[in-house]
Amino acid sequence: MLGIKFSLASHFEFVDYWFKLIPLPIIDISGISDEVYPDTKMIGYSIYLLSSFILFFKLKTDRILLSALLIFFSISAFAITFEVYSIFQYINSSYEGQTLYIGPFLFLFNFAIIRSYPKRLELKKYAL
């Protein structure tokens, strides 16, 4: 997982980046921390949102996977909203270190949907 820290004090300034091979914790929402700069995973969340749009056209006839996809879409949209809210807080000088680490969970959830699609397609072929 790749994260980026930046500053928007007078202009956009790249501060740091980090990479975790095994990103733990899987889901974490921290309230107030001592972080001065926001770190964002908005690019990754946007890719998840894009993949949910692409998968929608393949899964729109499968009720079970479609409901899982809608949950995935909702969580991805919440994560993007959270990141945008944190950026606006930082711009307005009221950022208190709120972070959301839900990317690994979204990856595993998306992987499960993609992996189960061929099995569901095979079952549907032999259904009456």
Residue 33 has what pLDDT? 54
Calpha distance 92→94 (Å, rounded):
6
Q: Grade residue 128 by pLDDT with cuts at 50, 70 and 90.
A: very low
Q: What is the mean pLDDT of residues 50-56?
A: 87
Residue 34 has what pLDDT? 57
Residue of 74, 27, 23 lying closest to 52 (CA atoms): 74
pTM metric for this prediction: 0.68
pLDDT in tens, 105-118: 888 888 888 888 87
Overall number of domains in the chain? 1
Residue 17 domain boundaries: 2-125
Ramachandran angles phi, psi of 9, nearest 5°: -60, -65
Q: What is the mean pLDDT of residues 90-101?
A: 75
Residue 88 has what pLDDT? 83
**The tokens of 5 are what?**
């820290």
Calpha distance 21→1 (Å, rounded):
6
Q: Worst-scoring range by mean pLDDT, 78-82, 83-87, 107-111? A: 83-87
C-alpha 35, offset from chain centre: 21
Look at 15 and 114; give whichever has higher pLDDT: 114
